[in-house]
Chain A
Amino acid sequence: MQALQQIKSSFVPLPIENVDTDQIIPARFLKATTRDGFGKNLFRDWRYEQDDETKPKPDFVLNQKVFSGEILVAGKNFGCGSSREHAAWALLDYGFKAVVSSFFADIFKNNALNNGVLPVIVSDDFLAQIFALTATDTLTIDVAAQTITIDSTGAATSFELNPYKKTCLLNGYDDIDFLISQKQSIEKFELEKV
């Protein structure tokens, strides 16, 4: 996993609530056996007419050239539904390093963190402030300080991040390295349990 310390970027606004992982990556694209290449089908059915890449829906934000950046900003309860980690892979592959919302579904949040995509939880009010910005505005997310700042106004807020996960993100560590280091205690636990 790649280390993540700071993101300073413009953002892509998606002011829709309850964005489920079936929208992020529809099931018919889950047939791969690797983690690569999911970005081209990110939000597939919102992005294209009749499943046709030559027919982008002009109203959808990923098809509007004025919006770009490494940060997706979405309505509350982002990532609900299916546990498919392909949703996190698709966001990462497309180029997003963080998703900002006022509420995330649990499984998605874990999946995102396990892939170095940072879920940033802000208040409804702060989220509304971001949605009110223009396409040229930028946001700065500082992982160590756990803050997100609207660069043009200087408005900033802190966000929650589990200290363990923060260490992982800042250094690019993953949980498997940690779990393997615990092998002795796991084997001891097994003996005592049985």
Chain B
Amino acid sequence: MAQTLFDKIWDAHVVEKIPDGPSVLYIDKHFIHEVTSPQAFKGIEKRGLPLFRPKQTIATADHNVPTLNQHLPIKDQLSKMQVDQLIENCEKHGVELYGLGHPYQGIVHVIGPELGITQPGMTIVCGDSHTSTHGAFGTIAFGIGTSEVEMVFASQCVLQTKPKTMRINIEGNLPNGVVSKDIILYIIVKISASGATGYFVEYAGSTIRSLSMEARMTICNMSIEMGARGGIIAPDEITFNYIKGRTYAPKGADWDKQLANWKKLYSDQDAIFDAEININAAEIAPMITYGTNPGLGMAIDGNIPLTESIPNPGEKKNLEHALTYMGLNSGAALLGMPIQHVFIGSCTNSRIEDLRLVAELVKGRKKHDSVKVMIVPGSQQVAKQVHAEGLDRIFAEAGFQIRQAGCSACLGMNEDKIPAGEYCISTSNRNFEGRQGAGARTLLASPLTAAAAAITGVVTDVRELINHN
């Protein structure tokens, strides 16, 4: 029977199916970080259990870490305690840790792929909803809660109910100034922040095939923002070329063997999906959000919907609530609106290609006086590459502050926060109330759109800057 890519990988990892219940799903790789793992380590210790497969577990510190002066002790005592606890737990249980100061340290969803740990056909979990990022490699990757982290510690398995499948086909060439972040924001706006709940989404079509691995990761990363359990893209030559030669990629005869298996990972021609959506890439413009969930967004030159035009009372109330928080008016345009901060980073857009895009646009230009710009590479390796390519000089000349690897201002947990009431154009993934700090107002956009606003100090259509070049 014709199978979807998702079904092929899922079926190959089911240890057992409980009648009328979930499946025992085997997990190939388990990424952990300091915030969602301590209670799980305590859990197995309390039960007197060993960590079942420590060699399949990889740890890093990212959420809580400062992004300046990482060589100094962490000032925030609670953050320090959590990071120290991770070090202790990893030592005790034999888990490889890429902690602060390690050349491989970085955001968990940046380092997995860049080290070649993430490979096609795998099942990958992490106590972090953006684990969907790894799906760009043709893996089943999804975020789990801490009880599930404990399950994987105890048994290298999770109990999961098989989700439904959805395929989103995107065809055609992307217009000028439109990048992969705009594709995923466009999709989320189209189907809403809950439009894919209960589904695992495969992204397909000529537009997806033409994207680099890093661009594909940005798309899979935000699958969770429309409620999807995960996102997946069939691996191809672009995937294989990306993985080849990386630190933990298979080598020699093992590479040939794996490659042969990876080439079987695609949805069969006649495979049936529970839902299917078709998108024409030509319709996508640079996107920006105006609300407090990623589904509340629009083309950069659009107008915020009129609240009175929304028929559903729940949605109308939701929009009113969001606009009050954001300090924005129903029906207004965003173009030309002053912003105070630009944040370029996070597991969505902190990879070298993102930073190259930004550098290309800002080269020879300066940031606007009224804007603070933070640029936070996703990993130590990305930071090293930024330096090697001289991008750091371009950023410094533009007046951007380059910080060290971590989740930074994506989530208002570490020192990097946006002050209450101020606007930040952010390349991250969530514009929830308080996400970047209590009272902070987040406008999600692509690295290009963020860079454009850094230069002008206002919400800007990047196409105007590009055409002007």
Please list the residues of chain A having a beta carbon within 8 angstroms of any beta carbon in chain B: 15-18, 20, 22-23, 26-28, 30-35, 45, 50-51, 75-77, 80-86, 88, 103, 105-107, 110-111, 114-115, 162-165, 174-176, 178-180, 182-183, 185-186, 189-190, 193
Task: Give B417's nearest chain A residue, CB to CB.
Answer: A28
Q: Once the chains bind, are A179 and B413 in contact (CB under 8 Å)?
A: no
Q: Once the chains bind, are A180 and B155 in contact (CB under 8 Å)?
A: yes
Q: Once the chains bind, are B321 and A178 in contact (CB under 8 Å)?
A: no
Q: Once the chains bind, are B197 and A26 in contact (CB under 8 Å)?
A: no
Distance in Å: Cβ of A132 to nearest Cβ of chain B: 13
CB-contact partner of B15 in A114, A163, A186, under 8 A: A186
Can you name 5 extra interface pairs (CB under 8 A) apart from A28-B412, A190-B26?
A33-B39, A83-B131, A86-B146, A164-B21, A175-B159
Q: Once the chains bind, are A77 and B194 in contact (CB under 8 Å)?
A: yes
Determine if B435 is an interface residue (Cβ-Cβ < 8 Å). Answer: yes
CB-contact partner of B145 in A17, A23, A83, A163, under 8 A: A83
Q: Once the chains bind, are A114 and B147 in contact (CB under 8 Å)?
A: yes
For B400-440 the 0/1 string (1 means CB < 8 A from A) is 00000000000111000000100000000010111100110
Determine if B148 is an interface residue (Cβ-Cβ < 8 Å). Answer: yes
Complex formed: what's the CA distance from A75 to B143 in Å? 23
A16, A33, A35: residue with the most chain B Cβ atoms closer than 10 Å: A33
Could you say which residues of chain B place their CB within 8 Å of the CB of A190?
26, 156
* Contacts A22-B435, A45-B433, A85-B145; A28 near B197 (Cβ below 8 A): no
Determine if B113 is an interface residue (Cβ-Cβ < 8 Å). Answer: no
Determine if B54 is an interface residue (Cβ-Cβ < 8 Å). Answer: no
Complex formed: what's the CA distance from A111 to B127 in Å? 11
Determine if B388 is an interface residue (Cβ-Cβ < 8 Å). Answer: no
Could you say which residues of chain B place their CB within 8 Å of the CB of A185?
15-16, 24
Could you say which residues of chain A place their CB within 8 Å of the CB of B315?
17
Q: Once the chains bind, are B85 and A179 in contact (CB under 8 Å)?
A: no
Name the 7 nearest CB pairs between A and B, nearest first: A164-B21, A85-B145, A111-B145, A31-B78, A114-B147, A33-B38, A27-B413
Chain B contact residues (Cβ within 8 angstroms of A): what range? 35 or more
Could you say which residues of chain B place their CB within 8 Å of the CB of A18?
193-194, 293, 318
Could you say which residues of chain A place their CB within 8 Å of the CB of B146?
35, 85-86, 111
20 contacting pairs across A/B (C-beta < 8 A): A18-B193, A22-B434, A31-B79, A33-B39, A34-B42, A75-B314, A77-B227, A83-B143, A85-B127, A86-B146, A103-B194, A107-B144, A164-B22, A176-B47, A176-B155, A182-B24, A185-B24, A186-B155, A190-B156, A193-B26
Q: Once the chains bind, are B82 and A180 in contact (CB under 8 Å)?
A: no
Distance in Å: Cβ of A1 to nearest Cβ of chain B: 9
Determine if B198 is an interface residue (Cβ-Cβ < 8 Å). Answer: yes
Complex formed: what's the CA distance from A63 to B143 in Å? 33
CB-contact partner of A81 in B129, B148, B154, B439, under 8 A: B129
For B142-170 the 0/1 string (1 means CB < 8 A from A) is 01111110110011110101010000000
Could you say which residues of chain A place their CB within 8 Å of the CB of B79?
31
Q: Once the chains bind, are A82 and B412 in contact (CB under 8 Å)?
A: no
Complex formed: what's the CA distance from A180 to B459 in Å? 54
* Contacts A84-B36, A85-B36, A114-B147; A176 near B43 (Cβ below 8 A): yes
Distance in Å: Cβ of A97 to nearest Cβ of chain B: 17
Could you say which residues of chain A place their CB within 8 Å of the CB of B15?
182, 185-186, 189
Determine if B379 is an interface residue (Cβ-Cβ < 8 Å). Answer: no
Distance in Å: Cβ of A111 to nearest Cβ of chain B: 4
Q: In the complex, how many residue pairs between chain A and chain B have their CB atoms under 8 Å apart? A: 188
Determine if B49 is an interface residue (Cβ-Cβ < 8 Å). Answer: yes
CB-contact partner of A182 in B20, B147, B155, under 8 A: B155
Could you say which residues of chain A place their CB within 8 Å of the CB of B81?
31, 33
Q: Once the chains bind, are B20 and A179 in contact (CB under 8 Å)?
A: no
* Contacts A27-B411, A76-B314; A33 near B42 (Cβ below 8 A): yes
Could you say which residues of chain B place their CB within 8 Å of the CB of A103?
194, 197
Q: Once the chains bind, are A83 and B432 in contact (CB under 8 Å)?
A: no
Task: Give A124's nearest chain B residue, CB to CB.
Answer: B314
Q: Once the chains bind, are A107 and B433 in contact (CB under 8 Å)?
A: no
Could you say which residues of chain A place their CB within 8 Å of the CB of B21?
162-165
Determine if B128 is an interface residue (Cβ-Cβ < 8 Å). Answer: yes
Determine if B229 is an interface residue (Cβ-Cβ < 8 Å). Answer: yes
Could you say which residues of chain A place their CB within 8 Å of the CB of B63?
27, 30
Complex formed: what's the CA distance from A179 to B160 in Å? 12
Could you say which residues of chain A place their CB within 8 Å of the CB of B67?
none
Could you say which residues of chain B place their CB within 8 Å of the CB of A26?
412, 434, 438
* Contacts A176-B150, A182-B157, A185-B16; A23 near B42 (Cβ below 8 A): no
CB-contact partner of A82 in B129, B227, B293, under 8 A: B129
* Contacts A17-B314, A185-B15; A23 near B197 (Cβ below 8 A): no
Task: Give B15's nearest chain A residue, CB to CB.
Answer: A189
Complex formed: what's the CA distance from A51 to B141 in Å? 35
Q: Once the chains bind, are B434 and A23 in contact (CB under 8 Å)?
A: yes
For B285-319 the 0/1 string (1 means CB < 8 A from A) is 00000000100000000000000000000110110
Q: Once the chains bind, are A105 and B227 in contact (CB under 8 Å)?
A: yes
Determine if B333 is an interface residue (Cβ-Cβ < 8 Å). Answer: no
Complex formed: what's the CA distance from A20 to B224 in Å? 12
Q: Once the chains bind, are A105 and B147 in contact (CB under 8 Å)?
A: no
Complex formed: what's the CA distance from A179 to B21 in Å? 13
Distance in Å: Cβ of B49 to nearest Cβ of chain A: 7
Complex formed: what's the CA distance from A165 to B159 in Å? 10
Determine if B18 is an interface residue (Cβ-Cβ < 8 Å). Answer: yes
CB-contact partner of A83 in B12, B144, B412, B439, under 8 A: B144
Q: Once the chains bind, are A182 and B39 in contact (CB under 8 Å)?
A: no
Complex formed: what's the CA distance from A193 to B53 in Å? 15
Q: Once the chains bind, are A174 and B35 in contact (CB under 8 Å)?
A: no
Determine if B64 is an interface residue (Cβ-Cβ < 8 Å). Answer: yes
Could you say which residues of chain B place their CB within 8 Å of the CB of A110?
144-145, 148
* Contacts A27-B411, A105-B194, A107-B145; A182 near B16 (Cβ below 8 A): yes
Could you say which residues of chain B place their CB within 8 Å of the CB of A111?
145-148
Complex formed: what's the CA distance from A142 to B384 in Å? 58
Complex formed: what's the CA distance from A83 to B420 in Å? 25
